[in-house]
Amino acid sequence: MANSKKELTGWIVTCTENSMLLKTFAGEVRLQLQSSKGITQNQVKLNSFVKVIVLQKENIFEIEKIEVISESRDEFPLEPDIDYSKNLKVRHLWMRNEKMRALIMIRNQVLKYVSEFLDSNGFIQVQTPVITGTECVCSGSVFGMEYYGRTGVLNQSPWMYVDCIVNSGVEKVYAVMPSFRREEKQTAYHLSELWHIQCDQALITNEEAMQLEEKMICYVISHLLEKMESELNILGSNINALRQIAAPFERVDYDSAIKILKNSQIEIEWGKDLDKEEQTILSTKIGKPFFLYNPPFKTTNFFFRRDENRPEIAFTHDLYMPGVGEVIGGGERISDIDQLKKNMLEFGSMFDEYEWYLEGKKYGAIPHSGFNIGFDRLIMWIIGADDIREAVLFPRIPDCDIKP
C-alpha cells in the first residue's frame, strides 16, 4: 500500500510525547507526533478543534502539519474515565463521548429500518397534531396549556388521529411523533417527553398485528447486526442475545400469565393490571420477547374491541422485552359506535370531549387494528440500558431541569 496524505479535522482528546488522539466526525483515530517536523505536545491544547495533514503508512498516521481552528478556552470539565450517562446537567458536554455518538447513530438507523419496513409493506407516513383538546386515555396526566383563550393539552399519543385517517379510507398509516405525559415520579422506564411510532392497518386482527410487529423487530435487529455492530458494542448491547431474536415470538395470554405468577408465589387475582415487578417476573421466566394478549378489558382503553364470548377481556396485546418490559402496545379498534359509547361510559369518558372522534364512527366505520411503538424503550432494549436516560439524547423526566 502506497503512502498517502489525508486531511482530518476534529478535537484533540489526549496528547502525549509521541501521539495524539483525535476525535473526528467518523470516530477516534490515533496520530503519531513527529518532533522532526517541529510538532510537539506543547504546541497543542486539549479539546481544541484542529485540522491536521497526516501521512498514512499502512495503519500508521503521522502528522505532517497541524492547524488550530478553534482553541479550547479552558480545561474540559468531564473526567475521561467517568460515565456521565445519567447526569443530565452535563448532557450537552457528554454529547462528545463516543457512547453518545454511537447512540445518535443507532437511533437514526433504528428509525430508518422501521420506516423501511413499514414503507415496503405499503404504509403511508403522516404527521399528526401535538396540540389537542383532550387527553387520549393513556398513562400519565396531561400537560395543559392556553390556546388562544381555549384550554388545550399536549398530545399523549398520535393514535386518535391515525385511527381517524385509517377510517377515512387510507388502508395502512403510521406516524412518528413526540408525545407528552405528566408522569408523577421519576423511574428508569418513563419519560415526560417521548417518541412514538403509531401504526394502524385496516381489516387486520389482533393476531395479524402481532405478526406484523415481530417481523418488523426482526427486520430492524438483523440490519443493525449487519451494519451497526461496532456502535452496538460501544453501547454495551448484548450482541449474542440480539442474534437469537427470531419470529414467531411467544404468545402468553393473560389467563396463563396469572397462573405463571401464582406458581411463582405471587399473590395476584384475575383482573389486576400487572405492575412492574410482575412484568419483570414474567419476562425473567420467559427469557425472550413475548406477547401478553387478551387482558381484562378494564385494564385497557375504551377504544379496544371486546371478545363477544368473553366481554370481560379485550383483543389487545403488549410486546415485552427482557430487561425493559412493555415496548409495544396495541390491539383491535372497535368500529361499532354503540359499543364504543358503552365502553366510554364504563371508563367515565365524556361524549362531548370526543365528539369529533365519535362522529367519525357514525358513517360506516372501518374495522382495524393498531399498535404504538415506544421508540425510546425500543432503543433502551436494543442497547441493553438499565435506565431510559441512556437511550435518549436530551431526556425530559419528572423534576428535572429543562436545560440543556
Please write the tens of the pLDDT for every residue from 279-303. Answer: 989 988 999 999 999 999 999 999 9
Model pTM?
0.95
Q: What is the band of 41 on the pLDDT scale with cuts at 50, 70, 90?
A: confident
- Tell me, yes or no, whether 144 and 279 share the same domain: yes
At which of 25, 43, 76 does a domain end? Answer: 76
Q: Is residue 125 assigned to a domain?
A: yes
At which of 76, 106, 138 does a domain end? Answer: 76
- Tell me, yes or no, whether 32 and 132 share the same domain: no
Higher pLDDT, 3 or 15: 15
Query: CB-based contacts of 265: which residues, under 8 Å, 6+ apart?
Result: none
Q: What is the band of 29 on the pLDDT scale with cuts at 50, 70, 90?
A: very high
> What are the φ/ψ torsions at residue 327 (nearest 5 degrees)?
-120, -35
- Tell me, yes or no, whether 54 and 121 share the same domain: no
Q: What percent of the chain has pLDDT over 70?
A: 98
Range with lowest mean pLDDT among 108-112, 181-185, 213-217, 380-384: 181-185
Q: What is the band of 350 on the pLDDT scale with cuts at 50, 70, 90?
A: confident
Q: Which domain holds residue 71?
A: 4-76
Contact 63, 48 (CB under 8 A): no
Q: Is residue 220 assigned to a domain?
A: yes
Predicted local confidence at residue 140, as pLDDT: 60
The rounded distance, in Å, linking the Cα atoms of 161 and 128 is 6
Whether the per-residue pLDDT at 35 is higher than 80: the answer is no
The average pLDDT across 367-396 equals: 97
SS3 track for the chain: CCCEEEEEEEEEEEECCCEEEEEECCEEEEEECCHHHCCCHHHCCCCCEEEEEEEEECCEEEEEEEEEEECCCCCCCCCCCCCCCCCHHHHHHHCCCHHHHHHHHHHHHHHHHHHHHHHHCCCEEECCCCEECCCCCCCCECCEEEECCEEEEECCCCHHHHHHHHHCCCCEEEEEEEEECECCCCCCCCCCEEEEEEEEEECCCHHHHHHHHHHHHHHHHHHHHHHCHHHHHHHCCCHHHHHCCCCCCEEEEHHHHHHHHHHCCCCCCCCCCCCHHHHHHHHHHHCCCEEEECCEHHHCCCCECECCCCCCEECEEEEEECCCEEEEEEEEECCCHHHHHHHHHHHCCCHHHHHHHHHCCCCCCCCEEEEEEEHHHHHHHHHCCCCHHHHCCCCCCCCCCCCC
- Tell me, yes or no, whether 132 and 277 share the same domain: yes
- Tell me, yes or no, whether 318 and 364 share the same domain: yes
Higher pLDDT, 399 or 360: 360
Predicted local confidence at residue 139, as pLDDT: 59
Contact 219, 117 (CB under 8 A): yes
CA-to-CA separations, 320 to 166, 203, 258, 310, in angstroms, rounded: 26, 25, 16, 24
Q: Is residue 312 assigned to a domain?
A: yes
Please write the tens of the pLDDT for every residue from 237-285. Answer: 999 999 999 999 999 999 999 999 999 999 999 999 999 889 989 988 9
Q: Is residue 398 assigned to a domain?
A: no
Whether the per-residue pLDDT at 311 is higher than 60: the answer is yes
- Tell me, yes or no, whether 115 and 249 share the same domain: yes
- Tell me, yes or no, whether 172 and 25 share the same domain: no
Predicted local confidence at residue 320, as pLDDT: 96
Predicted local confidence at residue 135, as pLDDT: 85
Whether the per-residue pLDDT at 186 is higher than 60: the answer is yes
Total structural domains in the chain?
2
Q: Is residue 84 assigned to a domain?
A: no
- Tell me, yes or no, whether 71 and 170 share the same domain: no
The average pLDDT across 134-150 equals: 84
- Domain containing 67 — which CATH number? 2.40.50.140
The pLDDT mean for the chain works out to: 93
- Tell me, yes or no, whether 116 and 72 share the same domain: no
Q: Is residue 399 assigned to a domain?
A: no
Predicted local confidence at residue 137, as pLDDT: 65
- Tell me, yes or no, whether 114 and 52 share the same domain: no
The rounded distance, in Å, linking the Cα atoms of 303 and 17 is 67
The average pLDDT across 170-187 equals: 94
Owner of C-alpha cell 382495524: 368
Q: Is residue 20 assigned to a domain?
A: yes
Whether the per-residue pLDDT at 1 is higher than 60: the answer is no
- Tell me, yes or no, whether 156 and 284 share the same domain: yes
- Domain containing 369 — which CATH number? 3.30.930.10
- Tell me, yes or no, whether 324 and 193 share the same domain: yes
Predicted local confidence at residue 57, as pLDDT: 85
Contact 283, 252 (CB under 8 A): no
Q: Is residue 251 assigned to a domain?
A: yes
Whether the per-residue pLDDT at 24 is higher than 90: the answer is yes
Predicted local confidence at residue 34, as pLDDT: 78
CA-to-CA separations, 300 to 317, 329, 336, 347, in angstroms, rounded: 9, 10, 17, 10
- Reading the block at residue 61, the C-alpha cell is 498516521
Q: What is the band of 25 on the pLDDT scale with cuts at 50, 70, 90?
A: very high
Please write the tens of the pLDDT for every residue from 58-100. Answer: 888 999 999 999 999 999 999 988 999 999 999 999 999 999 9
